[in-house]
Chains A and B, each alone.
Chain A
Amino acid sequence: MTFDVNAFLIILTGTLIAISCGLLGSFLILRNMAMIGDAISHAVLPGIVLAFFFSGQREGIAIIIGAGLLGILATIIIDYLSNKVKLQNDASIGVTFTWLFAIGIILITVFAGQIDLDQDCVLYGEIAYIPLDLIVTENNTILGPRVLWIAVINVILVLLYVGFMYKELKLTSFDRQFAQTIGFSTSFINLSLMGMVSYTTVSSFEAVGAILVLALLVVPPATAYLLTKKLKPMLLLTILIGFLTSLIGYYLAYFIDGSIAGAMASVSGLFLLVAIVYVTLQKRTSRKPIAMPTELKA
């Protein structure tokens, strides 16, 4: 078997994106905010379309900032609906993101032909074309795939964020009230996490699309959560699962000739299923049935 550069580049990009998403997603699921991640990943769409349209290009800070702000805006709207308007929380999420996503789809249709973005790309990205889209400097040096660079920058920033804010993220996820009483600004920490999730969603958007970002945000951390007992091992396992998801997902897509992003989501689901089955079997063998009446009842 020869070394396939394209495969390597795609798997590398997929891994980096899975790592960024997984690290942030771990804190999302520990805060019971997985569906907020869903909402953000849908809500950035109109921002992306508008930024595409006005800046007329794919790269550039404009898109990341514009769409990222929309992600934060979505969390603010959800917050407003549930706290001020007093709409129940799950409905606040549902109403907000379907509305913003619909705006995005309509904008895409309206601007069709004027921007290089279609409905399919929104849903599952085009990670397969990454190796074709290269950054070339003025003196014709090839710096590698553009989307890979975006993913590299993203993963560095996410690692820095989680590294520096580790203690704050951990405490506010576990015990928000206690965190508040020792003077942590819980709303700032929360908003910063939402901001990072938005940014990561936008940055991963071209490669994996809006909806499958959610799979990478939630599924590998959920798998790791089931299999570990401490936060650090959970984060490390999330990274490993992210890498395996990207690797196996690529070959699965190659094998059945389908979307790589879709395959990555499928593979991550398979890991989760295995973990769930493993955990349930272990519970059954280690505990006598009498020990689990509450679970049986539910």
Chain B
Amino acid sequence: MEDFVYFFSFQDPNVAMVVAGITLLSISAAMVGTFTFLDKKALLGDAISHAVLPGVCLAFMFAGSKNPYWIVLGAFITGAISTYAIEWISNSTKLKEDTVIAAVLSVFFGIGILLLTQLQQTGDAALSGLDHFLFGNAISIVYEDLMVYGILALLVIICILVFYKEFKLIIFNPSFAESVGLPVKRLKLLFNTLLVMAVVTGIQAIGVVLMAALLITPPAAARFWSNRLHVILMLAVLFAVLSGIAGAFISFAVPHMPTGPWVVMAISFIAFASFFFAGKKGILSKWYNQRNYQQKIHRDHILKSLFQALEKNSKTLEKDEIMEYFPGKEKLTRTYISKLEQENKIELEGEKLKLTPSGLVEAKRVVRLHRLWELYLAQYLNLAPDHVHDMAEKMEHLLTPELEAKLDASLDYPTQDPHHSKIPRDNDL
């Protein structure tokens, strides 16, 4: 708790600096990531983030120290080469894109590991910091780092905002973008440059191995809350910043904890929560709707059975008779009978059930929809009368009042279904 207060009061200028840095890089990664995600190129970010490792090592060899300028430059160069290599190989050979991504990713990373281990063998003291590029260590960010990575991130953010409209267009409708005279090729080049830059800004705080998560997971989570680009973008940024700061805090509070994995844990948590609980698209609401629908079907069937009894001139049905209609579902049936009674759709007279006037209206509607759909299948789809029942049984719960009206009109307000049963209307008995 003490740590928590200390960290979030930002009284320590170092903490403030780390938070500022991680916030900027999370924003830039989430923004770029949203576009690559929507362009279905999410895994490209994974390849680039692995591919910056050899650049980092080469820069270190060249500069002889952990100089952020050289490191950023080196990382950018090999990252850009990998992006170009992926595009070139996919276009000029029969290799499929995902094979190319996997190959480029692993080979570049292999070269990086070879160089890194070579550097470690030489036993340079300053090297202890180089390890941090693998899994990230936000706490080790110093003022000079913040300047380099922060400015880079700011640059990415500004570019995305400036070219927001253009990027949106080349992702959703590249051929249209070309036809209205946008320089699609140059814009794509710019975007790829921003993508590599966004990856590079994260390597010290998050690490090359897991940087991809900060590009992929925030938009994946945000996608479940909205269909509109600017909302997705803002949510992705929000999620990324929250997880970035959470990760930084944990690696601050718990000694030796690398930042990257904790950022990924936080963002993954948000993502899985979104997959399950997000408004309309979440799994949970789908389950809930599906269950509700199953229950509506059961309810409709109870009403229908009472109406059919009425058609056979028996105003009531024994509770046991209804139970027999739904073998194996006795408990559910009992629940629904009492529910329908509470809603005043049916009346209970001892063990006998009877439709109330409002229950009758509802029951009629279910039967009417069933028979209208049967008639529709027979008339428009040329089906024999003995083939129409099964689908009508499904459609009777589904059709909306608007569709009912349309159906009725296209059948010219019929009175009989294909089996010559009467189609019940509200105003008859």
Q: Which residue of A lies closest to B43 (CB)?
A: A90
CB distance A109 to B114 under 8 Å?
no
Interface of A is mostly: helix
Whether, in the assembled complex, B81 has its beta carbon less than 8 Å from a beta carbon of chain A, the answer is: no
> What is the bound-complex CA distance between A276 and B85, given in angstroms?
11
Whether, in the assembled complex, A102 has its beta carbon less than 8 Å from a beta carbon of chain B, the answer is: yes
Whether, in the assembled complex, B112 has its beta carbon less than 8 Å from a beta carbon of chain A, the answer is: yes
Whether, in the assembled complex, A105 has its beta carbon less than 8 Å from a beta carbon of chain B, the answer is: yes
CB distance B261 to A102 under 8 Å?
yes
CB distance B102 to A95 under 8 Å?
no
Q: Given A105-B135, A225-B95, A269-B103, does the pair A262, B113 have CB atoms closer than 8 Å? A: yes
CB distance A119 to B135 under 8 Å?
yes
> What is the bound-complex CA distance between A21 and B245, given in angstroms?
39
Q: Which of B205-213, B288-296, B322-330, B362-370 contacts A (4 or more CB under 8 A)?
A: B205-213
CB distance A91 to B37 under 8 Å?
yes
Interface string of A247-269 (1 = CB under 8 A from B): 00000110011110111111011
> What is the bound-complex CA distance between A81 and B46, given in angstroms?
19
Number of A-B contacts (CB under 8 A): 205
> What is the bound-complex CA distance between A93 and B47, given in angstroms?
13
CB distance B268 to A35 under 8 Å?
no
* Number of B positions contacting A (CB below 8 A): 61
- 67-84 of chain A: CB within 8 A of chain B: 81, 84
> What is the bound-complex CA distance between A256 and B118, given in angstroms?
7
Interface pairs (18), CB distance under 8 Å: A85-B275, A87-B275, A88-B40, A94-B45, A94-B220, A98-B210, A98-B264, A99-B265, A99-B271, A119-B134, A212-B110, A258-B121, A261-B113, A266-B111, A269-B108, A276-B89, A276-B93, A283-B92
Which of B41, B96, B103, B135 has the largest count of A CB atoms less than 10 A from its CB?
A: B103
- 180-232 of chain A: CB within 8 A of chain B: 211-212, 214-215, 217-219, 222, 225-226
Whether, in the assembled complex, B42 has its beta carbon less than 8 Å from a beta carbon of chain A, the answer is: yes
- 59-113 of chain B: CB within 8 A of chain A: 89, 91-96, 98-103, 105-113
Q: Which residues of B have CB within 8 Å of A29?
A: 95-96, 99
> What is the bound-complex CA distance between A214 and B46, given in angstroms?
13
CB distance B114 to A256 under 8 Å?
yes
Q: Which residue of B lies closest to A226 (CB)?
A: B93
CB distance A298 to B114 under 8 Å?
no
CB distance A257 to B121 under 8 Å?
yes
> What is the bound-complex CA distance between A101 and B219, given in angstroms?
19
- 206-262 of chain B: CB within 8 A of chain A: 209-210, 212-213, 216-217, 219-220, 223, 256-258, 260-262
CB distance B107 to A91 under 8 Å?
no
CB distance B258 to A109 under 8 Å?
yes
> What is the bound-complex CA distance between A95 and B261, given in angstroms?
13
CB distance A218 to B106 under 8 Å?
yes
